[in-house]
Amino acid sequence: MDIYHLIREAYEAKENSYAPYSGFHVGAALLSSDGAIYRGCNIENAAYSPTNCAERTAFFKAVSEGVREFKAIAIAGDAQDYLAPCGVCRQVMAEFCDAEKFQIILARSLTDYKIFTLAELLPELFGPKSLQ
Ligand code: THU
């Protein structure tokens, strides 16, 4: 996996962020198991609650194209610090990803990043297996 490339894709995705209310721009680049990259940005709404995070935009784009298996996601935002995904996005990741293997790359710049597994960011998760 080319981490630098995935982070660069996340920063490029951020360019399309629609965030007129918060002014906080976020981009994500989701790597599927077959090597394709799906970009996402946050999309805000005047009614606020329909706002979609960058990570979920990337997931929903990929899933709507029939993709179901993922390796990693890079996230880049306006924040000075590493930008961690919100709880709702972590839950969406839990639906489609192997928590022990899926890598979440929090970028602070193109070369400054931290990597966590989904299991680290969402321990004891409720997922598809919980319903069996
Ligand atoms: N946001 C994301 O896109 N991803 C995150 O992980 C955290 C928050 C967006 C939602 C909203 O448009 C803005 O950032 C401020 O919360």
Digit-coded pLDDT (tens) for 43-73:
999 999 999 999 999 999 999 999 999 999 9
Q: Is the pTM of this model over 0.95?
A: yes
- Does the beta carbon of 45 sit less than 6 angstroms from any atom of ligand 1? no
CB-based burial label for 16 (10 Å; 0-12, 13-18, 19+): middle
Which ranges of 15-110 does DSSP label H, i.e. alpha helix?
54-64, 87-96
In tens, the pLDDT along 18-35 reads 999 999 999 999 999 999
44 is annotated as an active-site residue: no
Asked if residue 55 has its Cβ within 6 Å of ligand 1, the reply is: yes
CA angle 53, 57, 59 (to 5 degrees): 120
- Residue whose CA lies nearest to ligand 1 atom number 14: 24
Interval 101-123 mean pLDDT = 97
**Residue 109: what pLDDT?**
95
CA gap 129, 114 in Å, rounded: 28
